[in-house]
Structure 1
């Protein structure tokens, strides 16, 4: 990664944070919890930029401009809202599960080959 890419990434992130800070307080609180949740669950595409997070801010800005409370936008189950956002996304958990399955399969094959 070039220095210029890092600088641009930091600028993009600062602009993103400024958009979050411009949201009403209830939206900021829920956004931060969503961000933490997504970083823990780990959809792979979050490492490719802030597209998903930026889309959430767009949705929140629209909801706020319509005078809606944040839970009117997300629903009361915010974790479910997050899960729905990433239901078709590959997560780090998926990658880890695949890795475990491959290791177990390889070990079982090796063990089976030794008993023959």
Structure 2
């Protein structure tokens, strides 16, 4: 990856287009699962989204293998696709920026309320 690709994000665009070509070859239930996985992994992305590229590649590879084996997407992913994605992104219960901001906001509000009440 060169400097220009890093700045413009063209490397990510190219990889994501390749993912979509691979996903288009999947059966319908696997394509639907792919769309759901992308949606649930989005909150775990860093500023550029580069951290998700290997995770998305692995998830798509899993869907491709299971489709080739004749398994349904739900047999592999289960009913909790969101939990599956959380586990892929760094472990069950991993923190996102949104979780940290929420915790900080709650702490600030509690501090202000204790000043008003005490």
TM-score, length basis structure 2: 0.70
Counterpart of 1:99? Answer: 104
1:65 Cα deviation (Å)?
Answer: 1.6
If you compute each CA radius of gyration, which structure gives the higher value, 1 or 2?
1
Q: Comparing both chains, which one has the higher relative contact order based on Cα–Cα distances under 8 Å and sequence gaps of 6 or more?
A: 1
Counterpart of 1:12? Answer: 15
TM-score, length basis structure 1: 0.71
1:80–1:73: structure 2 CA closer, same or farther, 3 Å change rule? same
Counterpart of 1:36? Answer: 39
Task: Look up the SS of the partner of 2:99 in the other structure.
Answer: helix
Whether the 8 Å contact between 1:44 and 1:90 is mirrored in structure 2 is no
Provide Cα deviations, 1:61-81, integer angstroms capped at 9, x if missing partner.
111121111111112343343
Q: CA RMSD in A?
A: 2.7
Structure 1: unaligned runs, 5 residues or longer: none
1:101 Cα deviation (Å)?
Answer: 3.4
Structure 2: unaligned runs, 5 residues or longer: none
